[in-house]
Amino acid sequence: MIKKCLFPVAGYGTRFLPATKSMPKEMLPVVNKPLVQYGVEEAIEAGMTTCAMVTGRGKRAIADHFDISYELEHQISGSGKEAYLASIRNVLEKGVFTMVRQREMKGLGHAILTGKSLIGNEPFGVLLSDDLCINDGPGVLAQMAELYKQFRCSIVAIQEVPADETHKYGVISGESLKEGIYRVDEMVEKPAPEDAPSNLAIIGRYILTPDIFDIIADTEPGANGEIQLTDALQTQARQGCVMAYKFKGRRFDCGSVPGFVEATNYVYEHHYTDI
Ligand code: UTP
């Protein structure tokens, strides 16, 4: 039902400098696969085969990754090394990739508004590829797409975080409808522990209804002087409905060095097989 997923990949990735000086953060490999490819695989698994990327300067490697490399194909065609290309070939076969550039980094909300021309007037997924999510069953976006069929409104993925970490996230409060599903009534971006309405933090998976674009266009800059998606979602929650969903699976904050190292160890131990 939801065919498109937006990938905001324009951020600077300052927490990974100097690695991200001339290389996109989203191309950092967790073991042997770049972060953004894990994200694209999750979106495709959820049926969102159009992957709309909001890129920026210095992000060309992402566009190249989701294109054919003729030299490479020619070089290793018919050799034993061909198997190493299997996962990216599979993604290229199933996915369609569209791109638009965000010229100024004015925040996640602004990045999403920049992607409007790629999405149009339909519900869509949003995946922040620095949040790597791994589940043995259906991926997080697939779980959320299933939930969308029931509620037909925006959905944010949440997880419980320690009280002293609320300042890193958007935090929600709401009415619990059933195990792991909340109707959101309040959302705060990066609250101090004493201002946080709960310890339920939004992570980088969303399903958004397209009215969000007009709401973002009317949203003033918030925390850090950026146009915050959380502020727009708060307006949407007041006007209609936003659900929060405690997803099944593990999430690694690969935008931070400790989270990235943890993900690398986990994937190497549980999912890596040499071919
Ligand atoms: P982050 O807050 O992680 O920022 O953005 P960042 O620039 O990527 O990383 P640090 O904090 O400097 O280390 C969350 C997501 O939103 C995207 C980022 O690419 C990331 O996926 N984003 C953020 C944009 O696309 N544009 C923006 O203007 C801001």
pLDDT score for 224:
84
11 lines ligand 1 (CB under 6 A): yes
14 lines ligand 1 (CB under 6 A): yes
Domains of the chain: 4-270 (3.90.550.10)
pLDDT score for 26:
96
Beta carbons within 8 Å of 221's beta carbon, 6+ residues apart: 106, 107, 227, 228
Mutate to test the pocket of ligand 1, among 17, 25, 127 (most ligand atoms within 8 A of CB): 25
Distance of alpha carbon 253 from alpha carbon 27, whole angstroms: 15
8 lines ligand 1 (CB under 6 A): yes
This prediction has a pTM of 0.95
Mutate to test the pocket of ligand 1, among 28, 108, 113, 127 (most ligand atoms within 8 A of CB): 108
Mean pLDDT of the chain: 94
pLDDT score for 275:
66
55 pLDDT above the threshold of 90: yes
C-alpha 253: how far from its chain's center?
Answer: 11
9 lines ligand 1 (CB under 6 A): yes
pLDDT score for 73:
87
Per-residue pLDDT of 56-115, as tens digits, reads 998 999 999 999 988 988 888 888 888 888 899 999 999 999 999 999 999 999 999 999
What's the whole-number mean pLDDT along residues 22-28?
95
238 pLDDT above the threshold of 80: yes
Q: Ligand 1 centroid vs 13 CA: distance in angstroms?
A: 6
